A and B are shown apart, each in its own frame.
Chain A
Amino acid sequence: MDIVVTVNGRPRDASGIAAHTTALDWLRSLGLTGAKEGCAEGECGACAVLLATPDSDGGTEWTAVNACLMPAAALDGQEVVTAEGLGTPEHMHPVQAALAEAGGSQCGYCTPGFACSMAAEFYRARASRGTSDGADAAASVRTSADGGNGAAAGASDAHTTEPFDLHALSGNLCRCTGYRPIRDAALGIDTTPAVGDALAERRTRPAPAARATRLAGDGGRFVRPETLDEALALLHVEPDAIAIAGCTDWGVEANLRGRRAPLAIAIDRLDELRGFDEDDAGIDLGAALTLTEVERRLAGRVPLLAALFPQFASPLIRNRATLGGNLGTASPIGDAPPALLALEARLVLASPDGEREVDLADYFTGYRETVRRPGELIRTIRIPRPTANLTAFHKVAKRRYDDISSVAVAFAIDLDEERGTVASARIGLGGVAATPIRARATEAALVGREWTDETVREAASVLGGEGTPMDDHRASAAYRSAMLERSLLRLHRRSAREGVPA
């Protein structure tokens, strides 16, 4: 079966690739060597490229992704733009010109990746669906933008130019410049997409649909099924198959540890896994929505998750990673589980036999082990409402952006303001046991007590004793325990300073 990918506007035949061939290696084999391998685990962004993805109202968004983690087969029928496709040395893209002129490149190896991350933000921040006529850029960003999908004109307020968000670059590492010139280049771009900017224009039309894909070869098979039922049936007969969504975890396994799946099943575009439903009782999040999509759709309505997302890896990862994947791999240092534990989330698990719902607190059973049976998929993450009035996500890591937690603590505490007592407390912990855990003893030490220095000090010392932290290269056990203890003191200090939201 042919696999065809549109690269820089031109259809390219990808037949002959192996199931484990990465998008990066395949692009480079075409001679498009602008994307580089810097780490092969989604940490450095030197491989960043742009992928045409569906936006929230029927058009297309240019989304920056790490090509090193994506199987090339997952691109079947999709559209990709590399740094070479953004511009040429003679006709640079505005972000490329800004980087080149500002001294934003020294060795230049990371630069194409930066250019792609910057371009994604350029097209997002300058979200006009039309293009500037050059004469009146300020007015033109409000160009009518129904984008051929019939979206209400009332949404056009979203199409004004937003400032460049530097967090868009936090998944790209540069070892030479120290970032200042890159920052200044990004903040200095004041142009809107020019007339004839094909990538800006492309946003007005729908993104490519998912395309059913079957690839067989010596090194294993790759299948993108059309329906959830088909995926579940496949998983049922081949329990050794790996289900991949954003592939931000499996891609690392494949690249760094040489793991090869006999069958990889791509589930990231299955409609059944991409639902988003919200009512007074709670929110249902499709397991295959990317973190970026969830963050945008929630728009801050769940403050604990709003606090989590910016600390969860980098945009390049969040653009692909899913909540389902983060829960499916069941890593004890995943960042979503502590927050979802504190929110008392429940999971809907689907199998050919039907669906069942489990409390996330009962889901994890051991190191990377869960109650999820072979062949079962996480379909939905259910977050009950109302959520607590005092929430926080404390991530302790070496680096402020894009690092793996030494310890993560999520708080969802309901304070009874009239009585000044703790009505309920749910605390999720990561990095201190073989699984993410609830800090039950600490919760008990808080509930019904007054929210005072004394209570908090006592409960903090209980919290410091939760879990069974280890010494490793990220942190010592003693530090991890100390961070648990301090996290409650820190939360209390904040609530005293800011007051408690009603």
Chain B
Amino acid sequence: MSELSHRPAGAVAGAPVAHESARLHATGTAVYTDDLAATRRDVLTAWPVTSTHAHARVRLDVAPALEVPGVVHVLTAADVPGVNDAGAKGDEPLFPDEAQYHGHALVWVLGETAEAARLGAAAVGVEYDELASIVTVEEAIAAGSFQGIAPTVRRGDTASALASAPHVFEGVSVVGGQEHFYLETHASFAHVDSEGQVFIESSTQHPSETQEIVAHVLGVPNHRVTVQSLRLGGGFGGKEMQPHGLAAVAALGAVRTGRPVRLRLTRAQDMTMTGKRHPFHATWRAGFADDGRILALEATLTSNGGWSLDLSDPVLGRALCHVDNAYWIPDLEVHGRIARTNITSQTAFRGFGGPQGMFVIEDILGRVAPLLGIDPAELRERNLYRPGQTTPYGMEVRHAERIGAAWSQVLEGSEFARRRDEIAAANAADPDVKRGLAITPVKFGISFTFTAYNQAGALVHVYRDGSVLVNHGGTELGQGLHTKMLQVAATALGVPLAQVRLAPTRTDKVPNTSATAASSGADLNGAAVKDACDQIIARLRPVAANVLGIDPADVRFEDGRVHGGDPDVSVLFGELAATAYAERVQLFAAGYYRTEGLGWDPATMTGTPFKYFACGVAASEVEVDGFTGATRLRRVDIVHDVGDSLSPLIDLGQVEGAFMQGVGWLTLEELRWDDSDGPGRGRLLTPSASTYKLPSFSELPDDLNVHFLERAHEDGAIYGSKAVGEPPFMLAFSVREAIREAVAAFGPPGHSVELAAPSTPEAVFWAIEAAREAGRAVTPVSTRATDAAGDSVATDAGAVGAVGALAGGPTDAASRAAHAGHASAER
């Protein structure tokens, strides 16, 4: 066992403690970025003028805004002393002369009040020279409008494998994007201090990059700019890249006016201006053996990246590395590309392309199982990775047996077989309401695929009274990172939790930090915090040995006392700190960590991009109303792998919350853009909480059982734990597959269900209608259905064609169901 993963007896790490700010949250006293404005004087508010066209040259007349009472200044490109760009890739002009999407901020008005700034923004004159625009992936493909990388993951000889496969299916799978809908919209608060330092409070997941972009917009060195991230009201990836330009606007305003500037997007602004999860479009061909083993997969994934590159490259890369999900696919060739369109620039969102990649294989398995005549649960289980196998990009699937263990545990714990029988009986008796029960796995790679990000720093101070102050490079988004870091520091120093305080994340304490993203926050920062603590302990050990009169190797630090095995003969940690100070021993340390063992070649898309995999399995039962298509989640059983949990209550919250967010993505949350040729082309049609529905209490399953996989120690990770932020999101596929099974129960045996994503009530309704039509048409062609399932013909009709064949030709409902899939992703 590595030193990093060894957890001492009685460790604070592993205790089920509440979120470190829980009391502040509940009493309304936790402070978020925009809360600061209420207590400061002379604060100006920034308000954007946004484009009302999808693509146009713009000319602005800001003079009328300056006539509006309370308007102080209008920030334009002329105000920028440095570089007029807010993107990490240099493709995001902060004050553009060409609007790239409907909602693109053109200039910003500074007002004495939000009302004045808003009215000033309304007064700015904008002339548009319209340019051709692209909104959907289909339009981008037709126009050849792409950006960024076009990678391929390849193993074996896919063409030959498909040619010789007994069953080959092909199809199109389309999945919609997702709005982060963090409850706290983007916020920045900037002022220039007495020493000329530009100090920015920002709701950012990536303070160092925010700092860097603010500095280059202002044309100053990084050391002139400090960014603090107090705590975020949710991030989910949406505040990894998107805060930079907003922070730069606030900072620029503060520099130009000498007054504090606050910027908080309204919900409508946040939804229309900032990036979201990438919608994906995939075409695929998949070959199967008679027994259901996947033989080969060929696919092309196209993401809708929006108007700029942002994080589209690594999101696509991760999607390609997760098309296999938890399944062994011997021959595989998957291409990826990024559409460039005139909509919001899509960005990181929990899972970071992983969900979209897995969507492809889960959609394939769900669609072909009836055509192969194999139970979907059986089909999935037969294809799970076994120990010794490697991913298509050549990385060993270490601990592959844990996937199978979790699978068995879920089957057993959920009484899967018994409930399947009950459901079949209930479905046979009820023509109106059908239930479905499905089980799906998750295997998710942990580490940034951008290798340089796999490092972290921390700064730990022990004061003379023994109290401890921890700074680290990660940000608190609600995921409980600070709680875990407190537990790590308390464990490493052997003090009670209450003796450690955590200070807000800021760039002048720990520099050059990585984004708090990729589920890596605890792994990276935890190791850095522990490194700092270990250094301090190493310095304290001889002091303690001297005080206690024992051998340095025998000194123990436990629960705030320092002793040699007998706690009755001990000194308090605080006493030891005072002694060490008097002896001129350094009581603070900078910790550092970098993940070892990574090796990734982005050119060939091969190597070891991940430190390890996190896995999990979920079984979900749904009920589908045949009248409306409405679905209800009845019961969910999850076994998820968090290693040896650092903080079980926090980890449970992550698993449940991620799962429900995934359920939202797949069943409810629908982004629609106007893709007509009308005057509103490119406009987001769902820019509000009333038009874009997230899960509410009504989506919580009646029965939600979450267990952690046991004996899951992760050697080489902080105290044996595993990353948890993203992987459970993808457990929600079990819900979509359960809906598919319930829909199938409305149709004849062997009916392959195509289901749009998100599977909204309307989408489900059309899928039910298609199933019913297949049932009405099935009698004359039932033998063909049997053939398709059992006959070892060289090539089946293909999944899409097969639906038509079974139903006696493409039907209204079937084409509507398929159309709904496209519509939901792209409109």
Q: Do A and B come from one complex?
A: yes
Instruction: List chain A residues, Cβ under 8 A from B685.
Output: 472-473
Report yes or no: A41 in contact with B690, Cβ–Cβ below 8 A.
yes
Report yes or no: B22 in contact with A100, Cβ–Cβ below 8 A.
yes
Q: Which residue of B lies closest to A479 (CB)?
A: B762
User: What is the minimal beta-carbon distance from A347 to any residue of chain B, in angstroms?
Assistant: 26
A34 within 8 A of partner (CB): yes
Report yes or no: B699 in contact with A46, Cβ–Cβ below 8 A.
no
Q: Which residue of B lies closest to A256 (CB)?
A: B268
Instruction: List chain B residues, Cβ under 8 A from A9.
Output: none
User: What is the minimal beta-carbon distance from A498 to any residue of chain B, in angstroms?
Assistant: 14
A43 within 8 A of partner (CB): yes
* Other-chain residue from A35, A96, A178, A473 in contact with B27 (beta carbon distance below 8 A): A96
User: What is the minimal beta-carbon distance from A484 to any residue of chain B, in angstroms?
Assistant: 11
Q: How far is the CA of A115 from the CA of B22 in the complex (A)?
A: 12
B486 within 8 A of partner (CB): no
Segment touching B, from A104-112, A199-207, A320-328, A368-376: A104-112
Report yes or no: A87 in contact with B27, Cβ–Cβ below 8 A.
yes
User: What is the minimal beta-carbon distance from B421 to any residue of chain A, in angstroms?
Assistant: 24
Q: Which residue of B lies closest to A106 (CB)?
A: B478
A435 within 8 A of partner (CB): no
Instruction: List chain B residues, Cβ under 8 A from A88.
Output: 27, 29
* Other-chain residue from A18, A36, A83, A177 in contact with B26 (beta carbon distance below 8 A): A83
Report yes or no: A84 in contact with B695, Cβ–Cβ below 8 A.
no
Q: Which residue of A lies closest to B655 (CB)?
A: A178
Report yes or no: B653 in contact with A399, Cβ–Cβ below 8 A.
no
Report yes or no: A115 in contact with B656, Cβ–Cβ below 8 A.
no
Report yes or no: A33 in contact with B696, Cβ–Cβ below 8 A.
no
A367 within 8 A of partner (CB): no
Report yes or no: B653 in contact with A99, Cβ–Cβ below 8 A.
no
Q: How far is the CA of A401 from the CA of B24 in the complex (A)?
A: 29
Report yes or no: A478 in contact with B816, Cβ–Cβ below 8 A.
yes
Instruction: List chain A residues, Cβ under 8 A from B235.
Output: 107
Report yes or no: A36 in contact with B688, Cβ–Cβ below 8 A.
no
A155 within 8 A of partner (CB): no
Instruction: List chain A residues, Cβ under 8 A from B656.
Output: 177-178, 180-181
Instruction: List chain A residues, Cβ under 8 A from B182.
Output: 107, 109, 175
Chain A at the B interface: SS class: loop
Instruction: List chain A residues, Cβ under 8 A from B698.
Output: 170, 399-402
Report yes or no: B234 in contact with A109, Cβ–Cβ below 8 A.
yes
A92 within 8 A of partner (CB): yes
Instruction: List chain A residues, Cβ under 8 A from B35.
Output: 28, 33
A385 within 8 A of partner (CB): no
Report yes or no: B661 in contact with A108, Cβ–Cβ below 8 A.
no
* Other-chain residue from B19, B21, B632, B693 in contact with A103 (beta carbon distance below 8 A): B19
Report yes or no: B628 in contact with A396, Cβ–Cβ below 8 A.
yes
Instruction: List chain A residues, Cβ under 8 A from B689.
Output: 38-39, 41, 43-44, 173
Report yes or no: B697 in contact with A39, Cβ–Cβ below 8 A.
no
Interface residues of A in 36-55 (CB under 8 A from B): 36-41, 43-44, 46
B18 within 8 A of partner (CB): yes
Q: How far is the CA of A502 from the CA of B183 in the complex (A)?
A: 49
Report yes or no: B26 in contact with A170, Cβ–Cβ below 8 A.
no
Q: How far is the CA of A18 from the CA of B113 in the complex (A)?
A: 12
Q: How far is the CA of A170 from the CA of B699 in the complex (A)?
A: 11
Report yes or no: A183 in contact with B697, Cβ–Cβ below 8 A.
yes
* Other-chain residue from A82, A173, A183, A479 in contact with B28 (beta carbon distance below 8 A): A82
A501 within 8 A of partner (CB): no
Report yes or no: B26 in contact with A258, Cβ–Cβ below 8 A.
no
Report yes or no: B19 in contact with A398, Cβ–Cβ below 8 A.
no
Report yes or no: A473 in contact with B691, Cβ–Cβ below 8 A.
yes
Counting residue pairs across A and B whose Cβ atoms lie within 8 Å, the total is: 252
Q: Which residue of A lies closest to B672 (CB)?
A: A473
Q: Which residue of B lies closest to A407 (CB)?
A: B628
Instruction: List chain B residues, Cβ under 8 A from A167.
Output: 697
A474 within 8 A of partner (CB): yes
User: What is the minimal beta-carbon distance from B713 to any residue of chain A, in angstroms?
Assistant: 24
Instruction: List chain B residues, Cβ under 8 A from A101.
Output: 18, 22
B659 within 8 A of partner (CB): yes
User: What is the minimal beta-carbon distance from B189 to any residue of chain A, in angstroms?
Assistant: 13
Interface residues of B in 23-37 (CB under 8 A from A): 23-32, 35
A97 within 8 A of partner (CB): yes
Supposing A103-B649, A179-B697, A478-B816 touch, asked if A32 and B39 sit within 8 A by C-beta, the answer is no
B694 within 8 A of partner (CB): yes
Q: How far is the CA of A487 from the CA of B625 in the complex (A)?
A: 12
Q: Which residue of B lies closest to A38 (CB)?
A: B183
Report yes or no: A33 in contact with B26, Cβ–Cβ below 8 A.
no
Q: How far is the CA of A473 from the CA of B266 in the complex (A)?
A: 21
Supposing A40-B267, A103-B18, A107-B477 touch, asked if A175 and B26 sit within 8 A by C-beta, the answer is no
Report yes or no: B699 in contact with A109, Cβ–Cβ below 8 A.
no
B313 within 8 A of partner (CB): no
User: What is the minimal beta-carbon distance from B106 to any residue of chain A, in angstroms?
Assistant: 18
Report yes or no: A108 in contact with B19, Cβ–Cβ below 8 A.
yes
B489 within 8 A of partner (CB): no
Binding site for A on B (CB under 8 A): 18-19, 21-32, 35, 38-39, 115, 118, 122, 180-185, 231-236, 266-268, 432, 477-480, 627-628, 630, 632, 649-650, 652-653, 656-661, 668, 670, 672, 685-686, 688-691, 693-700, 704, 760-762, 765-766, 769, 816
Given contacts A44-B689, A178-B704, 8 further A-B contacts (CB under 8 A): A40-B267, A89-B27, A103-B649, A108-B26, A176-B234, A178-B658, A399-B698, A483-B628
A-B contact pairs, 12 of them (CB 8 A): A39-B689, A84-B27, A84-B28, A107-B234, A107-B235, A112-B27, A175-B181, A256-B268, A396-B630, A401-B697, A478-B816, A486-B628
